[in-house]
Amino acid sequence: MGYETRCLIGGELVEGAGASIEVENPASEEIVAKVGSASLEQLDLAVEKATAAKSSWGRMPAVDRAPLLHGIATALREKTDELALLMTTEIGRPLTESADEVEWCAACFDYYAEVARSEIGRVIPPIEASQFSVVVKEPHGVVGCIVPWNFPLLLLIWKLAPALAAGNTVVAKPSELTPLSTLAIADAFAGLPAGTVNLLAGAGEIGAAISGHPGIDCVAFTGSVATGQKVGMAAAARNARVNLEMGGKDPFIVCDDIGVDGLQVAAEGGAWAAYLNAGQVCTSSERFYVMESIFDEYVDAFVQHTRSLVIGDPLEPGTDLGPMVSAAQRGKALGQVEEAVAAGAELLTGGGNAGFEQGHYLEPCVLTGVPAEADLLREETFGPVAPIVPVKDLDEAIALANGLDFGLGANIYTRDLKRAIRCVKEVRAGSVWINDPLTDNDAGPFGGFKNSGIGRELGTEGLDAFREAKHAHIDTEIEVKEWWYPYG
């Protein structure tokens, strides 16, 4: 398979002139491609091109932008097989999950194509009869997008689609682990004015240069808390707008009112929420709080289900979990498991390499007895690991859920409406899923409380992230106002 390794700058495909990036297939550990990173001069050129495209794209009526955005959705759907294969090659995730991601990307473009047609502000009640007051929402200008590897296209499109729909132009950088799928979508933007979308391969150096670039008006970032803080500080130093989507340590609460059938569902749902994409989802469930009276039964069902999962070649139909993205990521997750076991935890299943000599495979792990102070219950793991902790009641579960500085998502299983609503109100997280783990909906906001983020993606909130509000006070009379001088 040939790979697109060129960057998109000003409508042209060009080889990156910076350092070479080696792209590894995590299932085989083979280097499948070498991609030239953009140089800092190429970043300057991309910003220049995006700035030049601001007037043609930014002034285009939303009704004219809409078919072009739908066109991008169509182009992505037409390339589903190719893009899915590329993402699986780069991150090792089962092909079916990669194909789903392409559809979610296309649907996001379709959503924002229409949502952005419906309003660019509002009319507000004036403070005087002769006034007409309106709020007008305008694009920021050039938006810099910096994204991680775990959903390489989706997390880019959650920024790109609303930013474009709002009339911004874009300079975007994928993770150095996953440049191929991003560079492969360059042709989907052929119908837009040249320079509206620029795609640059590169690692942290280019990310840092985007965050600090004086020509970039807004930086939209998804990644770790540590990097997000750097991006936020670089943007704040020049008062650029910023949107940060960062890490999490999501809780998964199981109440004792769910019954025998519910318990099995909550075990299977919990395993999916913990192991999807080999646990490398920002909203992976990473700590399970289960009420004491059903604890043993729940753990048994979880372990049985975990042992039934198929770990293997991500290209094979029927594979549930592929390898993790890299040796480093596998080492980090396994390191937390080993540290917890050394401190007294019991590893009930998992932890091996599923018999694979090649590839970063990690059999999904279930643990009990993890000490409360272990990293496994406090720091992001980003791997297929489920520590399960007994709690005596919902008070304790909510206190533990809220006890960390993260607040991205939270899951609760209960049939009790009172408990469900209490969790919605009291759990401090940007997404709360009751009996419905990890669903997304383009129409609603996604993002984090506390260290997990600043700002929101998706929904109308996600469109507003890429718009500046202007309040226009219009008076139809030219007259001296009574509150002017003189006061006497």
| Per annotation, catalytic residue among 145, 255, 282, 365 | 282
CB atoms within 10 A of CB 344: 10
Q: What is the phi/psi pair of residue 287, to 5°?
A: -150, 125
Contact region with ligand NAD (CB under 6 A), list: 91-99, 159-167, 173-181, 235-243: 173-181
Q: Does 227 interact with ligand NAD (rule: CB under 6 A)?
A: yes
Q: Does 175 interact with ligand NAD (rule: CB under 6 A)?
A: yes
**Token pair 């150096």: residue:** 205
Structure tokens at 228: 């997000």
| Per annotation, catalytic residue among 245, 286, 363, 457 | 245
* CB closer to ligand NAD, 62 vs 337: 337
Q: Does 222 interact with ligand NAD (rule: CB under 6 A)?
A: yes
Binding mask 451-470 for ligand NAD (x = CB under 6 A): -xx-----------------
DSSP string, 14-52: E---S-EEEEEETTTTEEEEEEEPPPHHHHHHHHHHHHH
* CB closer to ligand NAD, 149 vs 433: 149
* Known catalytic residue at 245: yes
Contact region with ligand NAD (CB under 6 A), list: 27-35, 73-81, 117-125, 222-230: 222-230
Q: How far apart are CA 338 and CA 345, in angstroms?
A: 9
Q: Does 149 interact with ligand NAD (rule: CB under 6 A)?
A: yes
> Measured from the CB of residue 235, what is the shortest distance to ligand NAD in angstroms?
10
Q: Does 18 interact with ligand NAD (rule: CB under 6 A)?
A: no
What element of type H or E holds 297?
helix 292-308
197-227 CB burial, b ≥16 within 10 A, e <16? bbbbbbbebbbbbbbbbebbbbbbbbbebeb
Bridge partners (DSSP) of residue 245 are 222, 453
> Measured from the CB of residue 453, what is the shortest distance to ligand NAD in angstroms?
5
> Measured from the CB of residue 159, what is the shortest distance to ligand NAD in angstroms?
10
> If we measure between CA atoms, which residue out of 139, 142, 173 comes closest to residue 156?
173
Q: Does 251 interact with ligand NAD (rule: CB under 6 A)?
A: no
Q: How far apart are CA 74 and CA 66, in angstroms?
A: 12
Question: Which of 18, 139, 232, 248 contacts ligand NAD by CB under 6 A?
Answer: 248
Q: How far apart are CA 269 and CA 207, in angstroms?
A: 36
Please report, as ranges, the residues that interact with ligand NAD according to CB under 6 A: 146-150, 155, 173, 175-176, 203-204, 207-208, 211, 222-224, 227, 230-231, 245-248, 282, 380, 382, 408, 448, 452-453
**Which residues are the active-site residues?**
245, 282
